[in-house]
Amino acid sequence: MTRIDRKFAALRAEGKKAFVSYIMAGDPDLETSLAVMKGLPAAGVDIIELGMPFTDPMADGPTIQLAGQRALDGGQTLQKTLDMVAEFRKGDDTTPVVMMGYYNPIYNRGVDTFLADALAAGIDGLIVVDLPPEEDEELCIPAQKAGINFIRLATPTTDDKRLPKVLQNTSGFVYYVSITGITGAAAAQAAEVGPEVARIKAKTDLPVIVGFGITTPEAAKQIAGVADGCVVGSAIVKQIAEGKSPADVTAFAGTLAAGAHSA
């Protein structure tokens, strides 16, 4: 079992839904983002998604694009992101960390080298949005063999014909993208999300977590209520963009976590 598997087992035992928080590594600088990361578990965050900054983030809206640009401008690299996780692990060996981003930086490093380094740093899962299931031999299957979950995205356009392909080598959880479009573009609606989550859950035993378009504690509660949990990214990243202190950012994340946990 990975840390992700253990976390979901513990949440199920407590009858709670999961709250997942996304932040961009190195935004606005390494010190600040590490301080935020370290504060998230105590605020109630169950799983941390850590963005790998990249120059061409095609799935991301302006908020996360700008976060990635701030991180890159500040000198953030893939190595520094791995180091950040290793530093986080010195004080927290239980909170799952999922790296989310694009394949180019991993490819440049070399898959085998990256997976060994990721495992050593304490990374539990990967979300690589530009590698479709047809490319599973490239990274997904090697990651699973190394003991790292490979988490796939399903979307409103993932029809019943496509869904089994999306699910076939997925592990950890399924990330359901609640809207058609980029991050931060629209509000998720529980009435629309619920039937889609049920459709996915009929085909897999994995938890289904919903992201994109969740910005308030009430929205977190509503979406978590029709899924196994929810992810918030852009709303938290906006707090960082506004120059809020790490304590204020984690306090905000805590209000969202409380919303999800009350579902």
Q: Which residues are marked as active site? A: 49, 60
In 40-115, at which residue ranges do the beta strands (DSSP E only) sit? 47-51, 97-101
CA atoms within 13 A on the CB side of 205: 2
**Quick one: how far is CA 66 from the chain centroid?**
18
Give the separation between CA 108 and CA 188, rounded to whole angstroms: 35
Give the separation between CA 43 and CA 94, rounded to whole angstroms: 15
Cβ neighbours of 80 (radius 10 Å): 17
Q: Which of 234, 258, 184 is nearest to 49 (CA)?
A: 234
Contact 146, 171 (CB under 8 A): no
Contact 202, 32 (CB under 8 A): no
Query: Which two three-digit tokens encode residue 91?
Result: 């004080």
Cα distance between the two ends of the chain = 26
Contact 231, 22 (CB under 8 A): yes
Contact 37, 184 (CB under 8 A): no
Give the separation between CA 66 and CA 46, rounded to whole angstroms: 25
Give the separation between CA 212 and CA 20, rounded to whole angstroms: 12
